[in-house]
């Protein structure tokens, strides 16, 4: 377990239990068998049993020294809500609860027993097949977060946790920059771990989805090579290298992929994390033809047996083909060949062959229509907003519009952050379908509630 510079923790694992004297009565009574497992810059992490739901959980508790700061507690809870918006997204650690006990804010989340990719690296270089699978899973989680307007800002092996099936889940969105939410850091403070910082973060600029994709590329480099691309004994020197040093060579196959993934200019990087990992897989697994393996050949047409027959016929008489082939698709086909004899006299050869027509290709079964969104009855506006966000991530614009309208109706006038999210989801769904008049209205409302965001500008730009 390693706690990062940026905040809470970088992993939750059963493999390490810290012999630290801490309070274990800080949590509500429903959490029993509480055991301290980690300590970070913002507080402590516990493993506990949730007796109400009968499951093991991990609980982050804000440090007691912040208990008197209502501003910090509010920010802490807001960051937890940002992470909770992603619950249910693929390969993302699930948030179960956000609350406060004895003046200390806490977040309850999924407990994963497989350790972290940092621990995997400490045990030795992993297999390439595992690396690609883990990267694909992390990429899916990050892309879903970015579609929901959440930027992680601290992508590193310690924040990529493994479950019992050795699948990766991205953790610690608690230090994320979420739509409409403030950060736990002060403006200008470098947030993140030096070895994985994007050049713009190292210079104190705001992190974007491109920053997360840069961090994932550093993780990929480390998993494949056993070290980071700009590894240094000094965190300061390593952060500076991200800004100024040329990207080192990896291998002829991978250099082009990493040159783009680790570009200094965020605009030159891959448009999504999944696109980066797809290129990485293609570079590592090029199509090959093994020696002695059968070579695939194009399917022969009905002309092929006729040509072979004619070749055999002409071989003994010294004939050369000088004409054309005419044929049909009927079962009995009359084919005429005009040839020239050795003495130069033209003659005609007629052949009649029986050829059964090929059966028509099987018609594939029609794809079932996309499932309609469930009815809104009994679901909160917050839940509906999360569902609309997930549909946007799947590019199911019409369904997202339907669910987002229900969310907006339930949240209208509440003044909650989720009302801003719902308005954004509806505005973007409309913009993607070219319904610009309504789209701009809802995007403007979202901006009124949460302030200016680049994601709102991007959605509005679809209507310009």
Closest by alpha carbon to 211, among 137, 132, 264?
Answer: 264
Residue 175 has a pLDDT of 53
Q: Which residues of 138-173 are buried (b: 16+ CB within 10 A; e: fewer)?
A: bbbbbbbbbbbbbbbbbbbbbbbbbeeeeebbbbbb
The domain locations on the chain are 31-110, 117-284, 303-354, 381-461
Distances (CA, A) of 434 to 263, 308, 372, 446, 455: 33, 58, 21, 19, 17
CATH among 3.30.70.2750, 3.40.50.2300, 3.30.200.20, 3.30.70.260 for 31-110:
3.30.200.20
Tell me, which fold does domain 303-354 have in CATH? Dihydrodipicolinate Reductase; domain 2 (3.30.360)
Distances (CA, A) of 387 to 88, 139, 450, 459: 9, 20, 20, 19
Q: Does domain 117-284 have CATH number 3.40.640.10?
A: no
Split the chain (464 residues) into runs of 10 and give each run's mean pLDDT: 36 40 71 85 84 91 80 76 81 89 86 91 94 97 92 90 94 55 42 83 90 97 96 91 95 95 97 96 71 37 46 44 39 42 47 44 48 53 82 86 90 80 91 90 86 80 85
Q: Are strands 160-162 and 168-170 parallel, antiparallel or unpaired?
A: antiparallel
Angle at 405 between CA 402 and CA 408, to 5 degrees: 155
**How far is residue 83's CA from residue 94's CA, in Å, rounded to a whole number?**
8
**pTM, two decimal places:** 0.58
50, 97, 154, 172: the catalytic one is 154
Nearby residues of 369 by Cβ (< 8 Å), 6 or more positions away = none
Residue 457 has a pLDDT of 83
Distances (CA, A) of 153 to 55, 102, 176, 448: 29, 30, 6, 26
pLDDT in tens, 220-274: 999 999 999 999 988 889 999 999 999 999 999 999 999 999 999 999 999 999 9
Residue 413 has a pLDDT of 83
At the fourth CATH level, the homologous superfamily of domain 381-461 is Tetratricopeptide repeat domain (1.25.40.10)
Query: Is 154 marked active-site?
Result: yes
């Amino acid at each position: 377990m390693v706690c990062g510079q940026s905040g809470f923790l970088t992993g939750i694992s059963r493999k390490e239990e810290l012999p630290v004297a801490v309070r274990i009565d800080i949590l509500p009574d429903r959490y029993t068998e509480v055991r301290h497992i980690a300590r970070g810059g913002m507080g402590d992490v516990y493993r506990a049993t949730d007796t109400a739901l009968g499951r093991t959980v991990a609980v982050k508790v804000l440090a007691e020294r912040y208990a008197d700061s209502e501003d910090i507690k509010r920010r802490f809870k807001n960051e937890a809500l940002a992470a909770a918006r992603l619950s249910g997204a693929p390969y993302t650690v699930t948030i179960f609860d956000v609350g406060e006990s004895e003046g200390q804010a806490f977040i309850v989340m999924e407990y994963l027993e497989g350790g972290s990719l940092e621990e995997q690296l400490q045990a030795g270089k992993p297999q390439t097949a595992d690396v690609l699978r883990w990267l694909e899973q992390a990429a899916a989680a990050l892309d879903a977060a970015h579609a929901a307007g959440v930027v992680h800002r601290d992508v590193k092996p310690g924040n990529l946790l493994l479950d019992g099936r050795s699948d990766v889940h991205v953790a610690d969105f608690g230090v994320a920059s979420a739509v409409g939410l403030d950060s736990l850091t002060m403006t200008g403070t470098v947030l993140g771990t030096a070895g994985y910082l994007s050049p713009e973060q190292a210079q104190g600029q705001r992190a974007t989805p491109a920053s997360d994709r840069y961090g994932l590329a550093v993780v990929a480099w480390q998993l494949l090579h056993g070290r980071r691309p700009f590894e240094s004994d000094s965190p300061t020197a390593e952060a500076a290298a991200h800004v100024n040093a040329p990207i080192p060579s990896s291998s002829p196959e991978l250099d082009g992929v990493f040159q783009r993934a680790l570009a200094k200019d965020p605009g030159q990087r891959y448009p999504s994390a999944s696109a980066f990992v797809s290129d990485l897989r293609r570079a590592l697994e090029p199509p090959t033809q093994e020696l002695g393996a059968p070579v695939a050949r194009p399917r022969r047409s009905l002309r092929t047996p006729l040509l072979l027959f004619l070749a055999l016929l002409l071989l003994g008489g010294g004939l050369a083909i000088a004409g054309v082939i005419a044929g049909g698709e009927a079962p009995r086909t009359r084919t005429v060949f005009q040839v020239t004899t050795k003495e130069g006299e033209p003659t005609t050869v007629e052949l009649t062959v029986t050829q059964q027509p090929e059966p028509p290709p099987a018609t594939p079964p029609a794809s079932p229509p996309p499932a309609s969104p469930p009815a809104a009855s009994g679901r909160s506006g917050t839940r509906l907003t999360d569902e609309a966000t997930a549909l946007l991530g799947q590019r199911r614009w019409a369904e997202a519009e339907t669910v987002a309208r229900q969310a907006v109706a339930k949240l209208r006038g509440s003044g909650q952050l989720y009302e801003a999210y719902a308005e954004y989801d509806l505005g973007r769904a409309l913009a993607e379908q070219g319904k610009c008049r309504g789209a701009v209205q809802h995007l403007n409302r979202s901006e009124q509630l949460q302030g200016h965001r680049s994601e709102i500008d991007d959605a509005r730009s679809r209507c310009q």
